[in-house]
Amino acid sequence: MWGGRFESAPAAIMEEINASIDFDKTLWRQDIRGSRAHLAMLAARGIVTEADAGAIMAGLGKVEAEIERGDFTFTRALEDIHMNVESRLAEIVGPAAGRLHTARSRNDQVATDMRLWVRDTVDDLSAQILDLQTALAEKALAFAGTVMPGFTHLQSAQPVTFGHHLLAYVEMLGRDRGRFADARKRMNECPLGAAALAGTSFPIDRFATAAALGFDRPTANSLDSVSDRDFALESLAAAAICAMHLSRFAEEIVIWTTPQFAFVKLSDAFTTGSSIMPQKRNPDAAELVRAKAGRIIGALTGLLVVMKGLPLAYAKDMQEDKEGTFDALRSLSLCIAATAGMVRDMRPDAKVMKKAAGAGYATATDLADWLVRTLKMPFREAHHVTGRIVGLASDRNVGLERLTLAEMQGVEPRITDEIFAVLGVDKSVRSRTSYGGTAPANVRAQARRALAALKKAAAKTASA
Ligand code: ARG
């Protein structure tokens, strides 16, 4: 491509470190799409004749069909997707193919291809997140009144409902979708036409190419256009946070499916066995979702480190944006799909969870609240009295509700047998009616609201 100034071919090791075709062939659709838009603009502006444009357009169609069919030979000697496509185009069209590269450079080309790929992928991820939220909200509605222990420090804290717990993830994923949507808005500007770094002397129409590729507008500064990878970084940041959320949920699935907890069963479809221990049912999918957060966070860190300290404008360093970005966003897609599968598949064991909800004096706060409400005790004092009652129950090795009235009155004489009404886990969750609280009626209403909003959002993306 630059034979004019060069007398000998690159060293083999140079080719190996320099070539990106092994991974940037992923961008072939985006590359051809960008070329079509650029070519149509060049023809419309009279920079390329209609005859040449027609021939090149037909040639691009042939290249596309060859790649689609798997009939295309990608060559390392041609470095990257841009030159692989262009070289084949020249074979098909002849010298006129060389006119396509007028008023553009691989620098603005690759920036455009990457934006298109990331944008497509972010759209797919957003739709997947929506589906996962729907699966969670449906499960939440079905188990809005199923009591389980709520934890802080992974110690039984207060009873909550399983539906309430699942809706927490619907919230997290809603913020994830928001972050992707936000990144998409900023990324949706077209770098094509910035050329190598300084713009071009040809009378191009960057607004036309931007519109043809579905961008809101062209990027405003040619140096920034070819040196910016914020769109990838922001998407990776959104992906990293989302992966972190999924990894927390995955860890909970791992805990819940242990025989010791046995809160939840996964079907065979999302479980593996052991080749040596016949009794085992391993939650491998959950473990892998938990782990994949590592490579996704790694891709974000990796690209930040590549970009830091880079002088303007383009530098070959930036070719290192690709593998991490491709891998991270694909991994996230896999994680979301696997998590949605597990959510739809999981069967909570209401009996086991309810029993666990009552263990560990999880209704101690309800007892303290009763002392505040009924005996008008200051909460700090109620906390102290409750602590002594819990100590008593613990010494006797029984639950709070198994203490006798006389035993409780030994600690606080004004206690009446009304107290027993608040010590059950069902009563406890039913009383938590504050906005955002775990009362089953709240959870049901929240789940319904979420499902309606998700349905609306899905209809909007489907029509877009
Ligand atoms: N393969 C290159 C990349 O991904 C394309 C841009 C090459 N530009 C250049 N000036 N060598 O960054």
Q: What is the pLDDT of residue 277?
A: 81
**Which ligand 1 atom is at minimum distance from the Cα of 114?**
4
Judge contact between 70 and 107, C-beta under 8 A: no
The preferred substitution site among 6, 105, 110 for testing ligand 1, maximizing ligand atoms within 8 Å of CB, is 110
pLDDT the model gives residue 59: 98
Give the confidence band of 225 by pLDDT, cuts at 50, 70, 90. very high
Q: What is the pLDDT averaged over residues 38-45?
A: 98
Beta-strand pair 189-190/147-152: unpaired
Q: What is the pLDDT of residue 6?
A: 82
Query: Do residues 234 and 259 make contact, with C-beta atoms less than 8 angstroms apart?
Result: no
Output the ligand 1 site: residues, CB below 6 A: 20, 24, 80, 106-107, 110, 314, 316, 318-319
Judged against a pLDDT cut of 80, whether residue 373 lies above it is answered with: yes
Q: Is the pLDDT of residue 53 over 90?
A: yes
Residue 150 phi, psi (nearest 5) = -95, 145
- Nearby residues of 121 by Cβ (< 8 Å), 6 or more positions away: 235, 329, 330, 333
Distance 460 CA to ligand 1 centre (A): 37
Q: Report residue 461's pLDDT band, with 50, 70 and 90 as the boundaries.
A: confident
Tell me, in angstroms, the distance from the centre of ligand 1 to residue 317's CA: 9
Position 1 scores a pLDDT of 64
Instruction: Tell me which of 75, 107, 318, 321 to substitute to probe ligand 1's pocket, judged by most ligand atoms within 8 Å of the beta carbon.
Output: 107
In this structure, are residues 109 and 82 in contact, taking their beta carbons and an 8 Å threshold?
yes
Mean of the per-residue pLDDT values of the chain: 96
Q: Which of 8, 153, 201, 463 is catalytic?
A: 153
Looking at residue 217, its pLDDT comes to 98
* Residue 458 backbone phi and psi in degrees, to 5: -65, -40
* CA 45 to centroid of ligand 1, rounded, Å: 27
Q: How confident is the model at residue 406 (pLDDT cuts 50, 70, 90)?
A: very high
Residue 279's pLDDT band (cuts 50, 70, 90): confident
Weakest-pLDDT range from 6-15, 324-333, 407-416: 6-15
153 is catalytic: yes
Model confidence at 434: pLDDT above 90: yes
Asked if the bond preceding 313 is cis, omega within 30° of 0, the reply is: yes
Q: What's the pLDDT band for 278 if we cut at 50, 70, 90?
A: confident
Tokens of 254: 């791992």
Residue from 452, 460, 455, 438 nearest 146 by CA:
438
Is pLDDT above 90 for 269?
A: no
Region 418-431: mean pLDDT is 91
Question: Model confidence over 299-309: pLDDT tens digits?
Answer: 999 999 999 99
CA angle 432-162-443, nearest 5°?
A: 45
Q: Which ligand 1 atom minimizes the distance to the CA of 314?
A: 10
Nearest-CA residue for atom 7 of ligand 1: 106
Query: pLDDT category, 2, cuts 50, 70, 90?
Result: low
Question: How far away, in angstroms, is 320 Cα from ligand 1 center?
Answer: 10
Tokens standing for residue 438: 């775990």
∠ Cα 329 335 336 (to 5°): 90
> In whole angstroms, what is the distance from residue 122 CA to residue 183 CA?
9
Query: Tokens 């049912």 map to which residue?
Result: 281
Report the pLDDT averaged over residues 423-437: 94
pLDDT at 463 over 80: no
Distance 107 CA to ligand 1 centre (A): 6
Q: Which of 82, 247, 274, 428 is catalytic?
A: 274
Q: Is 245 annotated in the active site?
A: no
The protein residue whose alpha carbon is closest to atom 2 in ligand 1 is 319
Distance CA 192, CA 39 (A): 12
How large is the average pLDDT for residues 126-136? 98
Model confidence over 67-104: pLDDT tens digits? 999 999 999 999 999 999 999 999 999 999 999 999 99
* pLDDT tens for each residue of 201-219: 999 999 999 999 999 999 9
